[in-house]
Every structure is written in C-alpha cells, then in structure tokens.
Amino acid sequence: MKYYVLNHKNKMTYDEALKFSEAVLDLDLSNSKLIIVPSALYLPLFTGVHYYLGSQDISSFEEKTVTGEITGKQLKSLGVNYVIIGHSERREYCNETDYSLITKINNAIINDLKVIYCVGETLEERKLNKTFYKLEKQIARVFNKIKSAEIIIAYEPIWAIGTGLTPDMNQIQEVSSFIKKLVKDYYGKKAIVLYGGSVNETNIESLKAVENVDGFLIGGASVDVQKVAKIIK
C-alpha cells in the first residue's frame, strides 16, 4: 500500500476545490493511502471518509493569540490528520527556520497530528556531492529535539519541484535507503519515506518500482483528478 499525498498548494479557486472534492469520491483507493492537502481555506469541503486530510502548514503559536494564524487545535477540529512541515517553498519564501520548524512539529504532535517532514538538496548541492550531508543536517537538527511516534519524511530535491525534472531511479533509491538507515540509527524507528518532485502520470510507473519508497508527495499533477486517478491506479 503506497501513500499518495496531494499537495494542492495555493492552486485552486473555491469552485475548483469544490469540484475536486466531489470528483475525488469516485477514485478507487483500494490499494492506496490517499492524503488530500488542500489550501486551508477549503479544508471543510473535504469530508470524505475514504481518504485522510492534511494541512500545508501549522502555526508555531499554539497558545498565543495571533491574527492570521491557524493552530493545530483548529486543524484537528476540522478532521485533519497530517501536516506538512519544512516544505522547501516555505523554508525559502516564508523564512522558516529550524527553530520555527521544531515548534511547529511539537505543536502538531501535541494535537495528535502526524508530521510529513520535507527535506531536499539544491542542484548545486547535488553536483557538489553534498546531498547526504544536507539531508542528515535537516533531519538531525529537527528530530533531535522531539519524540515522534510516526516519522514520515518526504525527500523532495528542490531542483525537481515543479520543473519536470527528477533524479534517476537509482539516486532516489539511494537517498530513501539512506534516510531509513539514518532514522533507524538515530531514533531506533522505522521511517516512512516519500518521494516528491515532478511526480506525474507518466513517470509514476518507474517511481513505484523504486525500492524503499513508501509513497509520493505530488504538487502540480495533484490538482487534476484524472491525473490523480492514473497515478494511484
């Protein structure tokens, strides 16, 4: 059973999200664990019982009153089960730091939300053979501080997100095995490892065959139900 995490980002209007929420009910999910991660605005549209609901973010302020923030408690009250933390777009454009990521992870855990923690290298880091170094740093810095029951790590090379490029299958296999071993050695736990970055209906067949990859985090292709149907088939 593979995980499929649909990260809709800020892509849809209300009408589009409504249509998607209706169409998704017809998907055959018999062999997949589907997690839909819409814009927070549209979370209440997704009430289906045959998939899980995720949030694209969580506030680092759980107790403080802060305008514009969405707390873990609020997410939980909408039936959210998962939260994406550390996505490269948020690290880059929203200046998320290790400190705020740790706080967010803690706030998710306090509210019984499972964390999908994103890591990944830039193209330059890959060329300089620094991929493993970068990933170890991103994982160790954050997870050292917390105790999580279930560790889900999404490996998303920054240069593969939204570009149509993907690493070759051996590279993905090498990285996912590395992450699993790292988490086992550090925390004595089994990590669930997802791959993300230009996953689509044409490359999914080869990606599914990669050993040690438990599922996929899908951005661009995830807003099109026909494509999602082909991906999870």
Active site residues: 87, 156
Note whether 167 binds ligand PGA by CB under 6 A. no
Q: Is 55 in the site for ligand PGA (CB under 6 A)?
A: no
Token output for 48:
């289906």
Reduced to 3 states, what is the DSSP secondary structure of residue 198? coil
**Options 45-53, 59-67, 155-163, 202-210: segment touching ligand PGA (CB under 6 A):** 155-163
Tokens 């917390």, located at residue? 146
Q: Which residues contact 191 (CB under 8 A, 6 or more apart)?
A: 151, 152, 153, 179, 180, 183, 184
Amino acid found at 57 = D
| Nearest-approach distance from CB 198 to ligand PGA, in angstroms | 4
Task: Report the residue from 83, 115, 116, 161 that binds ligand PGA according to the rule CB under 6 A.
Answer: 161
Residue (172 or 218) nearer to ligand PGA, CB: 218
Which helix (DSSP H) or strand (DSSP E) does residue 22 occupy? helix 14-23
Minimum separation from the CB atom of position 12 to ligand PGA (A) = 14
Of all helices (H) and strands (E), which one includes residue 2?
strand 2-7
Q: Could you say whether residue 162 binds ligand PGA (CB under 6 A)?
A: yes
CB-based closest residue to ligand PGA: 219
| Residue 156 makes contact with ligand PGA by CB under 6 A | yes
Footprint on residues 79-138 left by ligand PGA (CB under 6 A): none
Nearer to ligand PGA among residue 10 and residue 30 (C-beta): 10
The Cα 203–Cα 8 span in angstroms is: 19
Q: What count of other Cβ atoms lies within 10 Å of the Cβ of residue 46?
A: 20
Site string for ligand PGA, 186-215 (x = CB under 6 A): ----------xxxx----------------
Contact flag: residue 157 with ligand PGA (CB under 6 A): no
CB contact set of 93 (below 8 Å; sequence gap of 6+): none
Out of 217, 225, 228, 232, name the contact with ligand PGA by CB under 6 A: 217
Amino acid identity of residue 3, one-letter, is: Y
Angle subtended at Cα 84 by Cα 61 and Cα 26, rounded to the nearest 5 degrees: 130
Contact residues: ligand PGA, CB under 6 A = 7, 156, 161-162, 196-199, 217-220
